[in-house]
């Protein structure tokens, strides 16, 4: 970032329009180092940016430090002097609590440098993104919601898809950083639009995973080899992302969460949360989403059965023939 953006105070109604070039690395606070956040932070550190990482898990922070980041002892410490703040948190209440605070603790916005840019890659309600953005902009801080798709494999490889809500100017400021973490960057519209695009995508993903699991379970119950059946469907009209890269049947694909005992991926409870957000959005605009509603019910039952911490592809377990 150029020195004028870093050293001069900015009026609250104007934010710096400079972007972060290869020859001028940014100072980044990265908060939230889960299965997705950690590899995203690592890719920024490997690109040469100064990444100050914070998470409640010391082990997660240590992984980023081992790849070139530095450890912060608190979120407040992480954002001191940061030009960019990237957050990757589980749900709306975490994002709102972090930036806006609660009755006993001040929000993080008070410690972020005027003229900085927040990139929130959490998947949350669009209304929460809009609420945080409004408060940030009042303090002269830029904000974009930039949820991602592509799974942990995409996060590690730096090939994620970003769905961005916010001004075109703020997106262009963020673009060089997003390009170090992702391959596809879409401007969905104003703040909150990225979140809406993400919940539409994840509703479809949940439906597709259930349908794919149901089809494979049916074939296996009839004596078919899951690898052969999956390849047939992958190359036929039933082909979809789950069959391509995230097969729910163990042993079909070496890199899938199913082959790792349904660990290290996108949790059932996170899918359930996103399907809930989709239903809330549908009710707000009176949209009809019967399959999305059914998918939410099935994932809720799967979670109640004790699989909430497993990858969402483990939903195949409730569809498989027993005995």
For the annotated catalytic residues, the residue numbers are 198
Q: Which residue has the tokens 């939230």?
A: 32
- List CB contacts of 161: < 8 A, sequence separation 6 or more: 148, 149, 150, 154, 182, 183, 184, 185, 186
User: What is the spatial distance between Cα 7 and Cα 114, in angstroms, rounded to a whole number?
Assistant: 10
User: What is the spatial distance between Cα 215 and Cα 267, in angstroms, rounded to a whole number?
Assistant: 21
User: What is the spatial distance between Cα 235 and Cα 216, in angstroms, rounded to a whole number?
Assistant: 14
Nearest Cα residue to 53 out of 35, 27, 90: 27
User: What is the spatial distance between Cα 43 and Cα 239, in angstroms, rounded to a whole number?
Assistant: 31
- List CB contacts of 286: < 8 A, sequence separation 6 or more: none
Q: Is residue 54 helix, strand or coil?
A: strand
Q: Which residue has the tokens 């003229």?
A: 115
């Amino acid at each position: 970032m150029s020195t004028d953006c870093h050293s001069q105070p900015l009026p609250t109604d104007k934010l710096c329009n400079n972007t972060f070039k290869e020859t001028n690395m940014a100072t980044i606070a990265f908060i939230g180092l889960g299965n997705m956040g950690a590899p995203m932070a690592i890719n920024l550190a490997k690109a040469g940016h100064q990444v100050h990482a914070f998470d409640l898990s010391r082990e997660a922070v240590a992984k980023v430090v081992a790849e070139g980041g530095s450890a912060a002892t608190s979120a407040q410490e992480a954002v001191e002097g940061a030009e960019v703040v990237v957050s990757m948190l589980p749900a709306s209440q975490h994002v709102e609590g972090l930036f806006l605070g609660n009755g006993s603790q001040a929000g993080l916005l008070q410690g972020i440098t005027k003229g900085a840019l927040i990139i929130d890659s959490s998947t949350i309600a669009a209304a929460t993104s809009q609420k945080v953005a409004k408060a940030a902009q009042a303090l002269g801080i830029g904000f974009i919601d930039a949820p991602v798709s592509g799974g942990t494999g995409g996060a590690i490889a730096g090939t994620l898809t970003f769905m961005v809500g916010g001004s075109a100017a703020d997106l262009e400021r963020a673009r060089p950083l997003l390009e170090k973490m992702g391959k596809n960057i879409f401007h969905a519209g104003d703040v909150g639009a990225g979140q809406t695009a993400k919940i539409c995508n994840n509703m479809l993903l949940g439906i597709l995973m259930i349908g794919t699991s149901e089809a494979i379970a049916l074939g296996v119950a009839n004596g078919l080899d899951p690898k052969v059946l999956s390849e047939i469907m992958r190359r036929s009209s039933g082909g979809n992302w789950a069959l391509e890269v995230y097969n729910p049947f163990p042993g079909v694909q070496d890199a899938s969460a199913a082959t790792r005992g349904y660990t290290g991926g996108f949790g059932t409870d996170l899918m359930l949360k996103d399907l809930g957000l989709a239903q809330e959005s549908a009710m707000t605009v009176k949209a009809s989403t019967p399959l999305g509603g059914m998918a939410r019910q099935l994932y809720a039952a799967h979670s109640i059965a004790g699989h909430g911490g497993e990858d969402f592809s483990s939903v195949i377990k409730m569809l498989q023939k027993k005995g």
